[in-house]
């Protein structure tokens, strides 16, 4: 059985993987209906500095919420080497203006090295492998430093996300997963952005509904769901992180 350490208040506590899983599952039930800040505060009280936020820099809603709970919280940004310039700019603006510690996580190989190993434009031939190399594996490695991680997943974004819990067990990484805005609607997000002056990737005002790597992201057509512009025409709907 794998033993994982949790810093609870100031006293480190050691819990087994099964205990951590039970903790996450119970919180998923009891924190349903709690505010995003309450959910992140629950995590902070149990994990201290050993929780982080993963952000794609489509907006900085979750980094902003996390900063209210823990100043200097780590915000992980996966730099795939394929980001739009606007996304890199949003990352830099978040790092400069929010009281968070932005950590840029890179893949083991540069894009040029990957091209040499697997051939150019792997994203066209095998996007699952490309996402595994440039997103899934680097995030898995980075998250080894933490006991819990938070993302901006929302139930109303896609069918694949409609059963997301506000706190759940991340089986893939054996750690606690926080989805503090799982129950938010797009209107909730827009209101929070307006009320709090939250930084937003400018591409969201340029026809994009969801922002990922440039080879796999296109502008939306009228009436399409926000994520329809991701891996369009391939049948792929998730990168494998969630
Ligand atoms: Fe590669 Fe596209 Fe996945 Fe980015 S989104 S890692 S370019 S397949």
Query: What CATH superfamily classification does 17-205 receive?
Result: HUPs (3.40.50.620)
Ligand 1 midpoint to CA 80 (Å): 7
pTM above 0.85, yes or no: yes
The rounded distance, in Å, linking the Cα atoms of 74 and 69 is 12
pLDDT recorded at residue 8: 44
Ligand 1 midpoint to CA 127 (Å): 6
The residue whose CA is least distant from atom 4 of ligand 1 is: 213
pLDDT recorded at residue 2: 40
Give the residue numbers marked as catalytic: 239
The answer to whether 102 and 95 are in contact (CB under 8 A) is yes
Can you give the pLDDT of all 242 residues of the chain as single tens digits?
444 444 444 454 667 888 889 999 999 999 999 999 999 999 999 999 999 999 999 999 999 999 999 999 999 999 999 999 999 999 999 999 999 999 999 999 999 999 999 999 999 999 999 999 999 999 999 999 899 999 999 999 888 889 999 999 999 999 999 999 999 999 999 999 999 999 999 999 999 988 999 999 999 988 888 778 887 777 777 666 77
pLDDT recorded at residue 102: 98
- What ranges do the domains of the chain cover? 17-205
The residue whose CA is least distant from atom 3 of ligand 1 is: 131
Q: Which residue ranges have their beta carbon within 6 Å of ligand 1?
A: 80, 82, 123, 127, 130-131, 134-135, 212-213, 215-216, 239
Pocket probe mutation, ligand 1, options 215, 218, 230, max atoms within 8 Å of Cβ:
215
Nearest CA-CA partner of 215 in 121, 116, 132:
121
């Amino acid at each position: 059985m794998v033993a994982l350490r949790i810093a609870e208040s100031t006293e480190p506590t050691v819990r087994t993987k099964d205990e951590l899983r039970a903790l996450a599952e119970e919180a998923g039930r009891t924190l349903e209906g709690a505010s995003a800040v309450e959910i992140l505060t629950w995590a902070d009280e149990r994990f201290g500095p050993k929780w982080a936020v993963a952000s794609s820099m489509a907006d900085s809603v979750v980094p902003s919420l996390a900063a209210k709970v823990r100043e200097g919280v780590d915000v992980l940004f996966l730099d795939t080497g394929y980001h739009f310039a606007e996304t890199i700019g949003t990352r830099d603006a978040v790092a400069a203006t929010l009281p968070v510690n932005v950590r840029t996580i890179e893949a083991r190989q540069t894009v040029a090295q990957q091209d040499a190993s697997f051939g150019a434009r792997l994203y066209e031939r095998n996007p699952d492998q490309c996402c595994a190399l440039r997103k899934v594996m680097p995030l898995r490695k980075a998250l080894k430093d933490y006991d819990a991680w938070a993302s901006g997943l929302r139930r109303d974004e896609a069918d694949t996300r409609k059963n997301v819990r506000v706190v759940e067990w991340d089986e893939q990484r054996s750690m606690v997963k926080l989805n503090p805005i799982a129950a938010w609607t797009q209107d909730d997000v827009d209101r929070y952005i307006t009320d709090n002056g939250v930084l937003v990737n400018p591409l969201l005002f340029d026809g994009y509904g969801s922002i990922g790597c440039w080879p796999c992201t296109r502008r939306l057509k009228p009436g399409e769901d926000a994520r329809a512009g991701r891996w369009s025409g391939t049948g792929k709907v998730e990168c494998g992180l969630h």
